[in-house]
Structure 1
């Protein structure tokens, strides 16, 4: 029973975790946290943590900003229902900022928590090159803003023998960013493949990395150092992707960031993903493992002795303040990150004398964003673009504390090139000088919020060419992911007959002792010793 001191924050629409019926849900504050409550006539009441910090929730909410939607929606239904009627429809408020393309459901691992691999599904799903090319066409036809970033995922995409050809095909469609989502095991043992995918067009390896110890990261602990060193040799940037589970690996978030920071020449980002609790799970089990974005950041603050704090982070749609200014300046629709304010958060951390310095320590970020909002409004009212540019150029310095910023960081010049000259290479140079720390909390059926789905900007493109929000595709697989892939899949026996292969031969056989003797693994251990001894 809800207590009288619970403070209602608003209503939204959710789903019953048992029958998927659309339900009205209430968001409310209790004891400094935000909760969701919903009641199914058949399956009863569900109460779930929505955000571990009411303070963070309210701060993030200030930056809520909607995108412009889709000019050419795929769903032409007059009154579509979210999330039942995906692809992108007229209700959807964000363009595709990143498109996931599933290349296979085969995998070389059998992780206990994963339901998405061929052995368990009973069929092999692998779209043909022709199907993949049609997906690219659909993404490029999206209006008003065509998709400019794709991520190849699986299963394990490195099991595709034509992976390099697929990457080249994506490059031919002028995608600016091509990412490969991988456990890195095949790449650890095949440095030539690392070079080939880099040359073909992959510019970011989205690499699973659930911890710095054998216990927290049994998936690729021993192979990860080899993959990193191979990427270093060919200049292929890495994003470390830890899935954070309370009581399992949340005690290592600080060391993960410190390790990334120590390898800043090749690690571009750490993108933490608080666990999405898929499947049916009783409340006590959910409470045991559930962790939310502000709670991960709180762990990070504790484990870095306050070098990185909650106040250093901003929600994803904050970036729209910048993109809307550029849009008014150019008169052209701009790439937006218009996700819901509760979906993600991020900050930039710079290096100075071995210390981690978040951007907020030498930039008045909030003041600068307010200034950009003012200038955007002036542009909307018809003020001279030349005058606005001059004002911005002369005013940027007052938001930067030159005495506290890293000595070799020419931030004013970088911002000038990005905002005034619209040189997006400047953004790349900015990333090379910093570590981007991101948080992205994908939903599950217990905390499902349809308002977040409507604003999702990370999508999947399916074999029938529908573009579907991440948390519809993965959280309701019977409607989207599994339904689509089963319709295109080949029964395992038939796949084995056609290919002459055995699916079980994909499974990885690890020689731990041999891997421990590699120079890369020894370097990894040395890095951790230095971090733990306080030398770094």
Structure 2
């Protein structure tokens, strides 16, 4: 039994960092919450009058939290909201509302809730919901037009997701429709199984305009990646033939595959001709789960970053990583230079992080080893402010070009890389060939940790810039849409979906026909 003295000592160790709002994991009540530090970790705590106190790990390293927090910036919001509210009750009434702080950087369109796999940690699939949700081509076009109407920055990047999108035979037509209304970047979220087995279908997607694959890849062994371990080599080979870049997307679960982070990166480098990035996603713990169970599987962004440092023998250190909003000084500078609104990645600093890593002989070399990234970003921010204050932008641009070499240690650059020349070609010559050279030489490593009901922070939702397009003409933040499915995802998809038995009658197929049944040689089983 815990004594009063022990309770007081524990409270004394807690350092309050800030206050926010959260939700009760049991009843979804919107609650006041506290974010605090204890034992060099960050936690969130809330108390529901009906269901009691909930305390959850929020960020696994306090020093990294404070380092990331200094990059926090409010975004541009949305100039023409789909939902106008007089009193903010976030995460209720999402759509985007007039109080949302970030524009859409990436818009998800769910084209089906059918899937050929059954991953236990997945947000949703048709069999569980009891209905089939597949928006029509007309609905998809209207959703994307709504995205293009967003101001001040019209949405220009779409991820097609599911379920498993490749179960739709009309996916090439969907891609053509999205391209036709002005979307430049179309990413396909997939497990890759059909693309491994049906080259002609993959070719049609490429010809329709798909930009790259966002492919699930949970590990380098059959044990850690049972979903598509055997199919990945064929997906990569077909992608090579078609020239379609691939982003690997590992869902990281403590005690399941967190020992393979370094190996996943090495796998990416061994296929760097076609793999453009690895985007790690610490698992979001969906549904009701006892605290001991959550502690068993919970892993956060800094936990993954520290494990990568350990598993790469220090070649990719924790200091190489920056939070997503750290790139705002660069986009601010481009905006004042061109006079055109640009993407502003103003997501919350705890949502994501990234770095670029180069292969230099046998070494992995992060960009921070030869570039003073923080110094360069601060310099660009200062120069952007000079232009805003009336200084001639051409004079400032020439000054930037003259001084940019001060932030680059050319002696430590990977062999054959001339970053200063590359930047000159982009800014002065508008020659973007060097951008392609950059991507062929480097691997982008990203982290994106979506929330669940236990670690939910409403401030992160306010700043969210990964959104869902829905057929009721709303644009809904990711961690509202998926974390509160009874308010958003399930309600909307049930409204626009049809019962499974009705779908089976219409199509003459069984939902179970979709399920992938892998046939392995006896030696592989």
TM above 0.5 = yes
Match of 1:223 in 2: 231
Match of 1:434 in 2: 442
Q: Which residue of 2 aligns with 1:295?
A: 303
1:510 counterpart SS class: coil
Distance in 2 of aligned mates of 1:216 and 1:179 = 25
Once the two structures are TM-superposed, the CA of residue 5 in structure 1 deviates from its matched residue by 2.1
Asked if residue 204 in structure 1 is aligned to residue 207 in structure 2, the reply is: no
What is the Cα deviation at residue 331 of structure 1?
A: 2.0
Match of 2:18 among 10, 25, 37: 10
Q: Return the offset for 1:220.
A: 0.8
- Equivalence for 1:357: 365
Give TM-score scaled by structure 2 length.
0.96
What residue in structure 1 maps to residue 156 of structure 2? 148
Q: How many Å apart are 1:514 and its aligned residue?
A: 8.0
Measured in 1, the distance between the counterparts of 2:347 and 2:361 equals 36
CA separation in 2, counterparts of 1:425 and 1:294? Answer: 34
**Residue 518 (structure 2) aligns with:** 510
Match of 1:58 in 2: 66
Q: After TM superposition, list the pairs within 5 Å mapping 1:80-479 onto structure 2.
A: 80-114=88-122, 116-419=124-427, 426-479=434-487
Tell me the residue number matched to 1:21: 29
Once residues 75 and 332 of structure 2 are traced to their aligned partners in structure 1, the CA distance between those partners, rounded to angstroms, is 10
The 8 Å contact of residues 359 and 442 in structure 2, kept in 1 or not, is answered as yes
Q: Distance in 2 between matches of 1:505 and 1:332?
A: 50
What is the CA deviation profile of residues 223-277 of structure 1, one whole-angstrom value per residue up to 9, with x for unaligned ones?
Answer: 1111111111111100000000000000000000001011100000000000001
Relative distance call for 1:444 and 1:473 in structure 2 (3 A) is same
Deviation at residue 77 of structure 1 after TM alignment: 2.4
Contact 1:238 1:267 in 2 (8 A): yes
CA distance in 2, matches of 1:173, 1:300: 40
Count of residue pairs brought into register by the alignment = 517
> 2:468 aligns to what SS in structure 1?
strand
Residues 191-221 of structure 1, C-alpha deviations (whole Å, 9 max, x = no match): 1122221121111100000001111111111
> Counterparts of 2:432 and 2:499 in 1: how far apart (Å)?
46
1:75 to 68, 77, 83: 83
Runs of at least 5 residues in structure 2 that lack an aligned partner in the other structure: 1-6
Query: Contact between 2:188 and 2:214, CA under 8 Å: does it hold in 1?
Result: yes
The offset of 1:65, in angstroms, is 1.2
Cα pair distance change 1:425/1:79, threshold 3 Å: farther
Mapped partners of 1:464, 1:443: distance in 2: 24
Quickly say closer, same or farther: Cα 1:516–1:263, change in 2 above 3 A.
farther
Quote the Cα distance in structure 2 between the aligned partners of 1:66 and 1:105: 34
Q: What TM-score results when the alignment is normalised by the length of structure 1?
A: 0.94
Return the alpha-carbon distance in structure 2 between the equivalents of residues 431 and 23 of structure 1: 44
Q: Is the CA contact 1:222–1:515 (under 8 Å) kept in the aligned structure 2?
A: no
Give the whole-Å Cα distance in 2 for the aligned partners of 1:174 and 1:274: 33
Are the aligned partners of 2:123 and 2:286 in contact in 1 as well (CA < 8 Å)? Answer: no
Distance of aligned partners of 1:422 and 1:140 in 2 relative to their CA distance in 1, 3 Å threshold = farther
Q: Structure 1: 5+ residue runs without aligned partners?
A: 518-536
| Worse overlay, 442-451 or 70-79 | 70-79
Other structure's SS at 1:3 match: helix
* Farther off after superposition, 187-196 or 243-252: 187-196
CA distance in 2, matches of 1:109, 1:170: 26
Query: 1-side partners of 2:70 and 2:152: how far apart?
Result: 26
Deviation at 1:115, TM superposition (A): 5.1
Contact conserved, 1:326 with 1:419, CA < 8 A, in 2?
no
Rounded to whole Å, the distance in 1 between the matches of 2:434 and 2:481 is: 34
Do the aligned residues in 2 keep the contact of 1:349 with 1:358 (CA within 8 Å)? yes
| Structure 2 partner of 1:531 | none
* Structure 2: distance between partners of 1:424 and 1:79: 45
Give yes or no for the alignment of 1:494 onto 2:506. no
1:329-358 deviation per Cα after TM superposition (whole angstroms, max 9, x unaligned)? 122211111100100000000111132110
Report deviation, 1:321.
Answer: 1.0
CA distance in 1 between partners of 2:156 and 2:521 (Å): 42
Kindly state the Cα deviation for residue 291 of structure 1 after the two structures are TM-superposed. 0.4
Taking only aligned residues, the RMSD between alpha carbons, in angstroms, comes to 1.5
Question: Corresponding residue for 1:529?
Answer: none
Separation in structure 2 between the aligned mates of residue 458 and residue 224 of structure 1, nearest angstrom: 26
SS at match of 1:414: helix
Distance in 2, Cα, partners of 1:358 & 1:318:
16
1:455–1:428: structure 2 CA closer, same or farther, 3 Å change rule?
A: farther
Q: Deviations over 1:310-342 (max 9, x none)?
A: 100000001111001111112221111110010
